[in-house]
Structure 1
Amino acid sequence: MGNVMMEGKPSKPKQPQTAKYINRDLSWIEFNRRVLEEAQDGSTPLLERIKFLSIVSTNLDEFMSVRAAGLTDQVKAGYNKADFTGYTPDGLLRRIRKRTGNMVQDQYRTYRELTRTLGKEGLVFAAYDDLNASQKKQMDRYYHDIVYPVLTPMAVDQSRPFPLVHSLHLYLAVVLQKERDREDEEPYFAIVQVPSNLSRTIQVPGRSNSVKMTYIMLEDLIETHIQSLFAGYTALAVHPFRLTRNADLTLNEEGAEDLLEEIEKELRRRRWGSPVRLEAAKGIHPYALDLLKEELEIADNTFLIEGPLDLSFLMKFAATLPGFDAFRYPKLEPGYPREFEETDDLFEALRTGDMLLYHPYESFAAVDDFLEQAATDPAVMAIKMTLYRVSGNSALVQSLARAAEAGKQVTVVVELKARFDEERNIAWARKLEKAGCHVVYGLVGLKTHAKITLVVRQEEDGLRRYVHVGTGNYNGSTARLYTDIGLFTTHPDVGDDATVLFNEMTGYSTPHDWKAFGVAPADMKAKLFALIRREAEHAAAGRPARIIAKMNALSHQEMVDELYAASQAGVKIDLIVRGVCCLKPGVPGLSENITVRSIVDRFLEHSRLFSFDNGGEPQVWLSSADWMTRNLTRRIELMCPVVDLRLRDIVLQILRLSLMDNVKARQLQPNGQYVRANNALTPFRSQFEALDVVTWKQWRP
């Protein structure tokens, strides 16, 4: 149950000549391996390890359907130009296949180890044949009552062409023989989709006097009863398979009269995206495998796996399993910010000073409550907000709808092109429009990724603007799982910039000389370059010069070069980059003053925070943008200064916590590998230190 094989033996790609950079896609594979290491870490609670194993699968699915798919398209088109890291699409694709093949092999080895450990703790994954007569009878009843009615066998022959195989869905390939046929006659072939609306894991009634909980896989139950679907035929072989298609949307925004309708069309076309990966059970019948590869037109990226395909089911299994809290992290109950807790008037609280929220340690309910009060407050004139990814039952959307129905001016910039959330965002957009909100879909050719809310309120001394800026999405669900920062402020410069930013997103407006913000694609890159170069000038003059930057990814070549130049000028640079990093730290003469660390732990590190020493007068920014080409040049992004000195110190403390981590932090080496930042000092786990209530209150005197 722990093997994976790649079909064929790809030729070994040549090493790229460029040595200054790490390739983005290979760096991503290293990140996913760090996630896998969390599943392998015996100090992590057992069911949390199961979750990490699931995340490896979902990460890899997205990588294959977007990044590998794009490279596959380039190879098919004959594009063979090397990128700035020295890799051609063909050479990079071959290396990706080799490394992901090794990773999946490691993943299933880990799966085998974890299921053995689960068995020792009373959780058993069993085969149908391992059940006793009573258990088999009950599983037979479950199959005939629940499963059988929703199954649809799809035969493939001259009158019935090969059916559409949906991306990332599980199927069974069935090789059949008529009962009267000779054994040497060509077999028949059919596929059966494993219902995605039924649980992959089915609990089996326990044996008498047994405390164990036993589960079987849905596909195994169907395979056992496959004969019920093919009367008059004998099943020679039944094996699962799964296809990954190109899921990247290709939109003609300029030619689209209605962007919403165009995206809906593309979502339908996504079902027919070109195949990029085929996963099949190891030992699959050769006739079935050859037919699948021929019909799906895929040969080079076929994985043969011993074990359940698509381990993403483990996330729901581990999260919903009752009675095993001892094998999970202790439940976190986010604190409610005392600034809001001590008053019924949130606007009054914000007038006394800016406020910082640190999720998930502080509750996202504070943002919900802010919008709810804005929706019902008669003094509020207008609400403007960007929505990129929202949760399924978003309180924010409900508040926006109520505000519009109450006659307030409500403007919502909804990003319809948020990958894999397009359908959900279309639904929210229609609901908001129906309630009377002005819904805008952003600017042509740019994704709106900035996270900002503007509330305009009529007060005794005139109009006042209340602004919330965040590093993460307005999503109450992910706010419990991601580390993010949110800033509430009434600073006049921030309010002015917020007004202009929304005017640019919703109307016609010339480029603006921003008072506080840095905005992509207009000037954020230039502003960051200026801040980095200023640190170099401070270093040259002997003044304090240091950069601490925390983000999800760093892959923009010019940005990497700017950091190299600052390092050579003597600036100490500490980068906390969770995922992709194309910069090579610690290279003599190039980057010896740069360190790069990645933290993979219980919560997804998601905040983007930038600190510049500025000769002893530190400046701190929070942002929606990673330092990637797409963020700096093809998205509407925002970075906002933290002006309040008390809040600035809190952000600096958060950054220092990450730099002190010697348990879950890994340091990037010049060769592109990561090693744990462990040392002989007392263990320090940054996320657990942030969880400490006493420490947290000390930051907020």
Structure 2
Amino acid sequence: MSASFRSKAPLINREISWLFFNERVLQEAADETVPLIERLRFLAIFSSNLDEFYRVRVATLNRLTDVNTKAKEFLGFSPKKILSEIKNIVVKQEKRFEYLYEHKIIKELAEQRIFIINDTQLNVSRGQFVRTYFHEKVLPDLVPIMLDLSTPEKPFPELKDRRIYFLVKLTYKKKIRYALLEVPTKSVSRFLVLPDSNNLKFIILLDDIIRYCLDELFFIFKYDNIEAYTVQLTRDAELDIDVNVSEKFIESLSKSLQRRSKGKPMRLLYDSEMPLDMISYLVSRMHLHNSVLIPGNRYHNFKDFIDFPNVGDTSLEYAKTLKLAVKDLDLGKSIFNQVAKRDYLISLPYQSFDYIIHFLRESAIDPKVAEINITLYRLAENSKVINALINAAKNGKKVNCLIEIKARFDEEANIYWSNKLEEGGVNVNFGMMAYKVHSKICLVSRYEKGQLTYYANLATGNYNEKSAGTYCDHSLFTVHRGITEDLKRLFNGLDNKEFFKGYKYIITSPLEMRHSVYDLIENEISHAREGAKAYMILKMNSLSDEEMILKLYEANNAGVKIQLIVRGMCCLVPGQVGYSEHIEVISIIDRYLEHARVWIFGNKGNEKVYLSSADWMTRNIDRRLEVSFPILDNSIKKEIRDIIDIQLNDNTKARVINATNDNKYVKRELGKSSRRAQHDTYYYLKNKNN
């Protein structure tokens, strides 16, 4: 690969590409075929995504601006320039967000006789209801902080990360007082359903309940006018941890988590109706740079709208779907006895996570089971997985659990679970300081006829029953000796805090994945040069690793056909002469989160199919423990290929990723019927069981 080829290779900046992904989430909120309450929830997902983006990615770029010239040489772009571009895109997206909420969704809710009303729209009876609720539920959690204008040198109160605050201005004649008031969304519901009236439904937000009752908070002051506008600060959430202190790692992490809430301001989202003098006061007192200011709408922390109550018809939400059974895998029988005969694939969320729970519960009580090894990354709030592992330990099984406490934004929860596991007799391993363990693997050792037999579960998604209801993932049960021998060796390495090479079946990072994938790609390049049909179909959440992209460009130039399904950021640019003429990329955003990682290589007609925990991002390939595993059962291989083909044929929810990043939907050919991958996958799996 020549230096010229590398230097001219088309690449889109990963942060900008991510913003185009979040634009696709916003498209779902605009799609009038999506049920109305679900559209509101897509606005919430968009908002939550953007919060995390600022806390992590923008925070990282801000750190790099201090060494902008050196960073530009190393990264190939100017952090300052990208930050400016990010702000321009985000401001446009926030305006679209506001338009969708204020001028589309609110009006359509009204057509359904559902009204989100504010403090100025309360009549006497509803006003009295709100005041009663305020006294009983809200007032005890409110603590206004008065800001003294006469002593500007007094430190300004520390705004907590992602909390909503009112900046309150009281004016009496020419005298001005300011106050800061946190909206207690952690302890009080964001939404209050008001009494019906003439079959009309009314909902008011906690923000507006407080606005309505501000006089009850500031009654001791004289004022002619009182104004209150919301602000929300997003802070740098990256953790600075001394990786050299292993025995004190938990303590170090806990202290870093406390500091996270006081990280450097990345974005101040403010009500665009806020008067300039109030904005200026806030900026001056908080010593903020104008670059962090983002005008928003009346309501911040919109992620709370994920829990918006549906007080209307059930048609306003996606219809509930029954979980499908896996053909010939009976929850009423021993999972071990069934998996001993053949491999099984669970396709979530269409099929039930209960199969995985059943596997762990059976392991916990089966007298023949000697040992359970498992890696955990993100867990549900009331985790049945944790309960099963603790029960196994109490039943005398040796249970070894590697729990990744560095899982971003789940650190506190995972520290809590690690303590619970240790209290329950489970051997807890925290992995390695410099690497996250992101694999999703479980190995159960069971005595059969005097010898140990090994049962494995390997997955593309977490052992998390909550996300398993909304994430599209695959989970494989197998007793294949080659795979289980590889997993035994892998777990042995993790116990001794070291990585091994030379696995026969599985592909692991950080030591082997890059070169193993290169070999698989080279194999297709060789076939293409021989004149044989050569192709790859690759599905992942994100594609940003530059070396992997260059390798795909190389394969393209050799004549390999490449089809990509990338949900999130995609730094590869399709359709570019000399680089990507034979590469097509689509992204599917729909009811469920597409999360599975699937690799299909043509291999001269004898397709190689892998499932993986890893995206093609540098961190996954070089700085994490990831596991990719082959599908060796032909019937399962066909099932995965069928599901991928269904996705490639989506002409309803698939967007084309191209050089302009305009997120246009795949064009439906004249006379072609509607194809919607998630809907069609459900019925494909349902029909398989009939």
Question: What TM-score does the superposition give when structure 1 sets the normalisation length?
Answer: 0.93
Q: 1:147 aligns with which of 132, 138, 142?
A: 138
Equivalent pair of 1:650/1:699 in contact (CA under 8 Å)? no
Matched, 1:135 2:129: no
Q: 1:118 aligns with which of 109, 112, 115?
A: 109
Between 639-648 and 299-308, the greater mean CA deviation after superposition:
299-308
User: Shift in Å at residue 130 of structure 1?
Assistant: 2.1
CA distance in 1, matches of 2:449, 2:300: 63
Q: Deviations over 1:129-171 (max 9, x none)?
A: 3222111112121112221121101112249642221111101
- In the alignment, what sits opposite 1:7? none
- In the alignment, what sits opposite 2:615? 626
CA distance in 2, matches of 1:571, 1:311: 44
- In the alignment, what sits opposite 1:12? none
Q: 1:69 aligns with which of 59, 69, 81?
A: 59
- In the alignment, what sits opposite 2:286? 296
- In the alignment, what sits opposite 2:4? none
CA distance in 2, matches of 1:342, 1:256: 42
* Secondary structure at 1:586 match in 2: coil
Q: Deviations over 1:185-231 (max 9, x none)?
A: 4x222100011121222222233xx1111122211221222122221
- In the alignment, what sits opposite 1:313? 304
Letter in 1 for 2:213: H
Matched, 1:328 2:317: yes
- In the alignment, what sits opposite 1:99? 89
User: Shift in Å at residue 438 of structure 1?
Assistant: 0.7
* Secondary structure at 2:434 match in 1: coil
Equivalent pair of 1:481/1:603 in contact (CA under 8 Å)? yes
CA distance in 1, matches of 2:275, 2:318: 42
- In the alignment, what sits opposite 2:157? 163
Q: Percent sequence identity over matched residues? A: 35
Matched, 1:667 2:656: yes
User: Shift in Å at residue 44 of structure 1?
Assistant: 1.1
- In the alignment, what sits opposite 1:176? 170
Q: Deviations over 1:30-72 (max 9, x none)?
A: 0000110011011111111111111110010000111011111
Aligned residues: 674
For the aligned residue pairs, the C-alpha RMSD in angstroms reads 1.7
**Residues 250-261 of structure 1: pairs in structure 2 closer than 5 A:** 250-261=240-251
CA distance in 1, matches of 2:508, 2:96: 42
Q: Deviations over 1:424-447 (max 9, x none)?
A: 111110000001111011112000
For the structure 1 residues 79 and 264, does the alpha-carbon distance in structure 2 shift closer, same or farther, using more than 3 Å as the test? farther
* Secondary structure at 1:134 match in 2: helix
- In the alignment, what sits opposite 1:228? 216
- For structure 1, list consecutive stretches of 5 or more residues without a partner in the other structure: 1-16
User: Shift in Å at residue 329 of structure 1?
Assistant: 1.4
CA distance in 1, matches of 2:631, 2:75: 35
**Residues 294-693 of structure 1: pairs in structure 2 closer than 5 A:** 294-298=284-288, 299-317=290-308, 320-341=309-330, 344-460=333-449, 462-509=451-498, 511-680=500-669, 681-692=672-683
- For structure 2, list consecutive stretches of 5 or more residues without a partner in the other structure: 1-6
Letter in 2 for 1:61: D
For the structure 1 residues 84 and 107, does the alpha-carbon distance in structure 2 shift closer, same or farther, using more than 3 Å as the test? farther
Equivalent pair of 1:275/1:296 in contact (CA under 8 Å)? no
CA distance in 2, matches of 1:428, 1:508: 21
CA distance in 2, matches of 1:349, 1:648: 19
CA distance in 2, matches of 1:167, 1:324: 36
- In the alignment, what sits opposite 1:9? none
CA distance in 1, matches of 2:222, 2:365: 67
Equivalent pair of 2:201/2:311 in contact (CA under 8 Å)? no
CA distance in 2, matches of 1:271, 1:682: 51
**Residues 185-200 of structure 1: pairs in structure 2 closer than 5 A:** 185=175, 187-196=176-185, 197-200=187-190
- In the alignment, what sits opposite 2:259? 269
Question: What TM-score does the superposition give when structure 2 sets the normalisation length?
Answer: 0.95
For the structure 1 residues 308 and 83, does the alpha-carbon distance in structure 2 shift closer, same or farther, using more than 3 Å as the test? farther
User: Shift in Å at residue 462 of structure 1?
Assistant: 1.5
CA distance in 1, matches of 2:499, 2:629: 20
CA distance in 2, matches of 1:285, 1:222: 20
User: Shift in Å at residue 279 of structure 1?
Assistant: 1.0
CA distance in 2, matches of 1:233, 1:79: 54
Equivalent pair of 1:18/1:84 in contact (CA under 8 Å)? no
* Secondary structure at 2:472 match in 1: strand
For the structure 1 residues 282 and 584, does the alpha-carbon distance in structure 2 shift closer, same or farther, using more than 3 Å as the test? same
Letter in 2 for 1:501: L
Q: Deviations over 1:310-330 (max 9, x none)?
A: 32222101xx42452111111
Equivalent pair of 1:173/1:239 in contact (CA under 8 Å)? yes
Equivalent pair of 2:324/2:686 in contact (CA under 8 Å)? no
* Secondary structure at 1:574 match in 2: strand
User: Shift in Å at residue 78 of structure 1?
Assistant: 4.4
* Secondary structure at 1:339 match in 2: coil
Letter in 1 for 2:234: T
* Secondary structure at 1:391 match in 2: coil
Equivalent pair of 1:343/1:349 in contact (CA under 8 Å)? no
- In the alignment, what sits opposite 2:3? none
For the structure 1 residues 568 and 697, does the alpha-carbon distance in structure 2 shift closer, same or farther, using more than 3 Å as the test? same
User: Shift in Å at residue 391 of structure 1?
Assistant: 0.4
CA distance in 2, matches of 1:682, 1:83: 50
CA distance in 2, matches of 1:697, 1:325: 23
